[in-house]
Amino acid sequence: MGRFFIFSIPLVLLANPIKIEIINEFQTDYNQRLEFHLTDSIEYPILYDSVITPVGVAIIDTNLVIEPGGYLIIDTSMLSGPFYLPQDSGFIIYPNFLDTVFYPYDGYYYIVPAPPIGSSAAKFYCWINSGVDLEMLKDWYIDSTPTFGYPNDDYQGCKISGYVCGNGTPLNGAEVIARTYRNIYTPHSFYDSCITYTDQDGFYFMDSLLPDRFWVEVAYPGYLPDSQLTDPLHFLQPLTINFNLVGIEDNKVVKDPASAGLKVYPNPFQGLLRISYIVGRNAKNYALRVYDASGRLVKDFSRFTTYDLRPTGIIWDGTDDMGCPVQEGVYFICTPYSRVKVIKL
């Protein structure tokens, strides 16, 4: 046994220097089992690997191999030593792949449920390419029909719903658009963008969305549009976002000394418009956008508006987000705290 540990541990560490997510499903009731799934195109023998639960360390004493893309069930019949997953809360640690699952867990990027009797906690995942890197999106959910040994199949995507009002009155037919905060180029089974319209009660509903962050944008003629960036979505926590749009002529600016100082020059302008502003420490969801007289968003500078107590300047060249010159007329430079009316000649 001494020779085995001297030679095998360095090999494992060299082969797996980073975290690899391999725990794919688990059941805490009388079944006491978990499932490994390896997404890499390699096979991995797991004889003598350890699995840690709240009761101690168990050793896999059966000659098992995780096949490329395969699903391998682990239960007490394959283990030597203590292994037990409590019903209400616990954890699973697989040291050789640095993979750890705590349950229940309520985090920012994902949550893990404690599965009820007869159900399992299963993981949905997909690989996305945002043009920067290949990234795994994941979302744990409760599977009432466990699929140990096979792909997890009951995931339904994430949901966003809410109400849209205009000056406190429900708006029928308001356009609601949800799109991920980044461009995704990889095909997948769920939506990275969606468009819908409110009903007569101002209610909207979207489902089958990827577990990612979304920009939710609302527009209705005669009202200033609004938008909100969500946190990562989770199937087990449907998101509710309500909007109360303000009529263009009825807009009453909220004055906040933490986010003030919106100034433009010259006005009227022809060519370039200089915009200066201050983003205060307590400003939330700060946005700097340009709308036309109908309430249509023509230019969005929000990504550049970060916290800075010094006056910050932006030059608007009179073009929209597509780079096309806008027509002559009235425009509104808007933040959540102030608004300036400008005229383009």
Instruction: Give the per-residue pLDDT at 18.
Output: 56
245 and 218 in contact (C-beta within 8 Å)? yes
Check whether residue 222 and residue 270 sit in a common domain: no
pLDDT values of the chain reduced to their tens digit, one per residue, 345 residues: 343 333 333 333 334 445 689 999 999 989 999 999 988 778 899 999 999 999 999 999 999 999 989 999 999 999 999 999 999 999 999 999 999 999 999 999 999 999 999 999 999 999 998 777 788 899 999 999 999 999 999 999 999 999 999 989 999 999 999 989 888 888 888 999 999 999 999 999 999 999 999 989 898 988 888 888 899 999 999 999 999 998 876 555 444 444 456 788 888 888 898 888 776 655 555 678 888 876 778 888 775 544 444 456 788 899 988 888 888 887 888 876 677 888 887
- Ordered DSSP codes for 229-250: EPPPPBTTB-EE--EEEEETTT
Task: Show which of 111, 143, 177 is a domain's final residue.
Answer: 111
Which CATH number goes with the domain that contains 318?
2.60.40.4070
**Prediction pTM value:** 0.70
Instruction: Give the per-residue pLDDT at 113.
Output: 98
Check whether residue 222 and residue 304 sit in a common domain: no
- Ordered DSSP codes for 257-269: TTS---EEESSSB
Instruction: Give the per-residue pLDDT at 243.
Output: 94
**Domain that residue 99 falls in:** 2-111
Check whether residue 185 and residue 107 sit in a common domain: no
Please count the CA atoms within 13 angstroms of the CA of 266 that sit on its side-chain side: 6
Check whether residue 191 and residue 226 sit in a common domain: yes
Check whether residue 83 and residue 34 sit in a common domain: yes
**What is the widest separation between alpha-carbon atoms in the chain?**
85
228 and 188 in contact (C-beta within 8 Å)? no
Rounded to a whole number of angstroms, the CA Rg of the chain reads: 27
56 falls within a domain:
yes
Instruction: Give the per-residue pLDDT at 144.
Output: 95
80 falls within a domain:
yes
Which CATH number goes with the domain that contains 45?
2.60.40
328 falls within a domain:
yes
Cα dihedral: 313, 318, 319, 320 (round 10) = 80
Give the Cα separation of 103 and 86 in Å (integer): 10
Instruction: Give the per-residue pLDDT at 117.
Output: 95
Q: How many domains does the chain have?
A: 3
CA distances to 261, 284, 290, 309, 334 from 258, rounded to whole Å, are 9, 10, 21, 9, 16
Task: Show which of 81, 111, 141 is a domain's final residue.
Answer: 111
Check whether residue 16 and residue 96 sit in a common domain: yes
Give the Cα separation of 177 and 190 in Å (integer): 15
